[in-house]
Amino acid sequence: MEKRTANTILVFSCIGFFSFGVMWAAIGPLLSQFAERNHTTLATIGGLYTALFLGAVIAQLVLGRRSDQWGQLRTFTVALLVLALGITGVSISRWLPLTFALAFLAGWGHGMTNLSGNVMIGRLFKENSVSALNLVNVFFGVGAFIGPLLVSVSITLWTNGFPALYFSLLLMFLAGMAILIRFFNVKIVTSEAIQTPEQQQKTRFTAFLWSMGVMILIYVGAESSMGGWATTYMQQTTSLKIELASLVTSGFWLAITLGRLSGTFLGSRLSARRVLLLCLATSTLGAVLFIAGFGQIAVSIAGIFFIGLGFGAIYPTSMAMVTTAFPSNPGQAGSVITSLSAVGGMVLPWLQGVIMEKAGIRSGTYSIAAMVGGLILLFFINWHFEKKDN
């Protein structure tokens, strides 16, 4: 593929990921308004995350391998459009079962956007995949930073946060249509041969791949828990009103974006393994501050910021490692990672809400710290299997 074509695809992918980030981060601050529209409680409407991630898991399990056959670019295009239409339906629905059903449908788009987008960029820029994947995910982070900020502005101006969500969905739809019209028949061809069934079986069950998948399961669960509950946490433990508490969530996503910018810079200078180690050290500092800063605005914000800064480069760097390790069928290998990540995003934010409701809001700080500890443990387990495979 010509470099110019690859760079143009990268630009549209960045726009798609930006709108994805705005949408995803706007959902958390809008949970109370979703609950009001569906005449239910905040704890119940948190099931939106479960429905989204359940749809993502099923989509990745069913379609992950097929995406290598259909083409990652085509899959990414259709997934963006499905996600935009599904979340639009969620925002309009006033009946809880329909809301969850539409969220499940949107989850199919969510899952395949995540999988095909990351695999596609990893294949297009395979010589520098760590930096390229961190770059495209920077735009997700920028969108995620802007999302809660737009919700805050929207609530201030119109006492309604949904215009911020509609902005992201319109942009996502336009990006999907632009790719559909201009690049839908473009194929990303690599020089690697198609693997035999025996090699595909090895891909599914390699210990390196599965341990990486479990690590990403915990990571996505921790990221979604923090992003989804940070506004509520700050509102209930400090004197901040929802408009200002939403800005803390924006700060969390800003920190993730800065972490991915750092990953873009470090990816061409350090090994992927060392980048991950720096990420975990930073998030550990954040977890300590988060626990120590309970009820203190400044220290709590600092803890949330450093957790986000450390989290930033974990996912794109891990996906770069996987697409590099399995170049012949990255969609199949990537589907293991993204499916497990969806399980984490489906279960852990819900569990975080249950823990905070049953054991008190402070328990949320300990659960986040436990997830960071789990990431550290899985990092060393995965490193062991990587050395063993080599």
Q: Compute the average pLDDT of residues 32-44.
A: 89
Cβ-contact 128, 71 below 8 angstroms: no
Tens digits of residue pLDDT in 135-187: 898 898 788 878 888 998 998 898 888 999 999 999 999 999 998 888 877 76
The shares of helix, strand and coil residues in the chain, as percent rounded to the nearest 5, are 85, 0, 15
Pair 176, 81: CB distance under 8 Å = yes
* HSE of 235, CA atoms in CB hemisphere, 13 A: 16
Q: Give the sign of the dihedral formed by CA 238, CA 242, CA 243, CA 248.
A: positive
User: Considering the chain, what is the average pLDDT of its residues?
Assistant: 86
Q: Which of 388, 369, 140, 132 is nearest to 272 (CA)?
A: 132
Residue 58 has pLDDT above 70, yes or no: yes
Domain boundaries along the sequence of the chain: 3-185+198-389
CATH code of the domain made up of 3-185+198-389: 1.20.1250.20
- Predicted confidence at residue 203, as pLDDT, reads 52
Task: Please tell me the predicted confidence (pLDDT) of residue 346.
Answer: 75
pLDDT of residue 189: 55
